[in-house]
Structure 1
Amino acid sequence: MDHPPDDLELEGIELDLFVEAMRRRHGYDFGQYAPASLLRRVRQLAQRHGDGAISALTHRLLHEPALLPQLLEGLSVPASDMFRDPSVFRALREQVLPLLASWPQLTIWQAGCAHGEEVYSLAILLEEAGLYERSQIFATDLSAQALERAREGIYPLRSAQQWSRNYLAAGGNHSLSDYCSARYGLLKLDGRLRRHVTFAQHNLAADAVFCEAQLVLCRNVLIYFSNPLQQRSLALFRDSLVRGGFLCLGLRERPGAAEADFTPIDANLRIYRHIGPTATERRP
């Protein structure tokens, strides 16, 4: 005689049904996200929008399309800081940007840009290196709500002191206050840092390569993916890069199966240079 499922097994079934509903109703496939991280985020969404039950959240997902942006925001990973891991940004400043300066025009893809803190950090680096005016940054994320916040460039003032320390530790030439203004408890980034930034939705689980870039950054996103989705994303980054372009990952991430196409600039800081064939060269 079969035993009735316990609470954890039932929750697993509910999670599977939620993922299937998200895929079939809206075309977003979270089936390859790391299960523990996905379950934690769906539980949080169920508390907020489903009376604590994943099944109730799935019902709302199916019948209330207007809820989708809030669900995508909750399922993405929007936490970041300006100049997070300052040693990485110092290495980009000192080891990567001087090499990028040899290209007449620069295209940069920041994947999983969340609320934009690292995009603006990169814009400041490019500005101080004299490269911003010939750069185009594509900042992408799954969540439309996260992208809207990134476009605004407005953050809590309480972050300012830590971000100023990060900026200086990253080799900043001036003061972070030169790039922002403070008012009413908020910090607003200068609009000139957005002049060459295009914010757009992109789904690493489903969408294709859309640009040819000299630099791709995707930091602390892959750790939330299953291995197959990590490899899909890394293949997208590899296929987006010109030969000699650069890839910058999070400190807990590696190029994986694509590693043969890269040589480390700084393996500890997860900065690599593309040495393999480009996507065009690999085509028969």
Structure 2
Amino acid sequence: MDAKELDDIEVALFIQAMQRRHGYDFSQYAPASLKRRVQQLADQLQCRTISGLTERMLHEPPLLPRVLDGLTVPASDMFRDPGLFRSLREQVLPMLASYPQINIWQAGCAHGQEVYSLAILLEETGLYERTQIFATDLSERALRQAEEGIYPAREAQQWSRNYQASGGTCSLADYYSARYNLIKLDQRLRRNVTFAQHNLVSDGVFCEAHLILCRNVMIYFSNVLQDRVLALFRDSLVRGGFLCLGLRESLDYAANAASLAPFDERLRIFRLASQAERKAP
């Protein structure tokens, strides 16, 4: 048996141990990507083998947040892909403005940069007072950082460029204070945000949403899991609600894609189709 086959066995045992010990099921994640992240995590934790990582995960419960962070890769930027936020500002939000209450679900919110981007966008379009943002992630540690809203100041310049390219009407600096090489976003942006842990693999509908954003999360899922998550989003959306995916994500191989009509396919914005539209040839 060669080294690759041994590694595959060790990864399979790690996945099984994670599920039985902590209840997290990674069995439907894309195998190559998951194997790479497990190996990187073993290296970071100075484990000689993946089996060594499994042993530590089983016997050191405080290590779990670090393990989850390594497997879920929480990362984002403010106003990432500015064209998407411009489209939300100019096309999607005006259509949602007719609702007396707007619910937005940011699934896989990572460290919260896109959550605060949404809050700023809603503030500038006059919709924030009647909007509730539900920001969820698998990682409790990522959620805690998201709630704090504190980030390295070195990111601010790029984020400001993203903000302006997205159609921002002020200066991004109006929304944060800077100190000790850090920026802290105005906590008023959090006033209508609920942060909560949610597992897209195993948990059910989180809320009734008019807009769902889940960007660059499903690229780590197998086709089977992608389809399951799309069904979850379909069941969570109100009629005519919107779903935003990452620019690298596709619905091409998902059976549940039939329920989602392209709204701006280039920007990966979809809209929940009516029953009549789904049955149309």
Q: TM-score category by the smaller chain? A: over 0.9
CA contact (8 A) 2:177 2:185 kept: yes
Q: Which moved more, 1:34-43 or 1:19-28?
A: 34-43
**Contact 2:230 / 2:257 at 8 angstroms: preserved in 1?**
no
- 2: CA distance, partners of 1:269 / 1:77: 22
Which residue does the alignment assign to 1:272?
270
1:49 and 2:42 equivalent? no
Contact 1:246 1:272 in 2 (8 A): yes
Q: Is the 8 A contact 2:39 2:50 kept in 1?
A: yes
Q: SS state of the match for residue 60, structure 1?
A: helix
What is the CA-CA distance between 1:252 and the residue it aligns to? 1.5
Q: CA deviation at 1:251?
A: 0.7
Contact 1:32–1:225 at 8 Å: present in 2 too?
A: yes
Q: Which residue in the other structure is 1:201 paired with?
A: 197
Q: Counterpart in 1 of 2:163?
A: 167
Equivalent residue letter for 2:271: R
Structure 2 counterpart of 1:281: none
1:151 to 135, 147, 156: 147
Tell me which of 248, 260, 263 is aligned to 1:262.
260
1:82 aligns with 2:82: no
Q: Which amino acid aligns with 2:114?
A: E
Amino acid in the other structure paired with 2:135? A
Cα distance between partner residues in 2 of 1:261 and 1:228: 16
Shift of 1:206: 0.5
Question: Where does structure 1 differ by over 3 angstroms across 4 or more consecutive aligned residues?
Answer: none
5+ residue gaps, structure 2, are: 276-281
- The residue that corresponds to 1:248 in the other structure is 244
Preserved contact between residue 220 and residue 250 of structure 1 (Cα < 8 Å): yes
1:131 equivalent in structure 2:
127
CA contact (8 A) 1:260 1:276 kept: no
1:268 aligns to what SS in structure 2?
helix
Q: Deviations over 1:241-283 (max 9, x none)?
A: 0001111111121343222212222110011111235xxxxxx
1:67 CA drift (Å):
1.1
Q: Unmatched 5+ residue regions in structure 1?
A: 278-284
Asked whether 1:13 is paired with 2:9, we answer yes
The 5 Å alignment of 1:30-49 reads 30-49=26-45
Give the aligned partner of residue 96 of structure 2. Answer: 100
Number of aligned residue pairs: 273
| Pairing 1:188–2:184 present | yes
Structure 1 residue 50 displacement after superposition: 4.8
Q: SS of the residue aligned with 1:30?
A: coil
- Residue pair 1:61, 1:68 contacting (<8 A) in 2 also: yes
> What CA distance in whole angstroms lies between the structure 1 residues aligned with 2:35 and 2:258?
33
2: distance between equivalents of 1:159 and 1:231?
34
Local SS of the residue matching 1:91 = helix
Distance 2:209 2:120 in 1: 19
SS at match of 2:93: helix
8 Å Cα contact 2:109/2:115 also seen in 1:
yes
TM-score (norm 1): 0.94
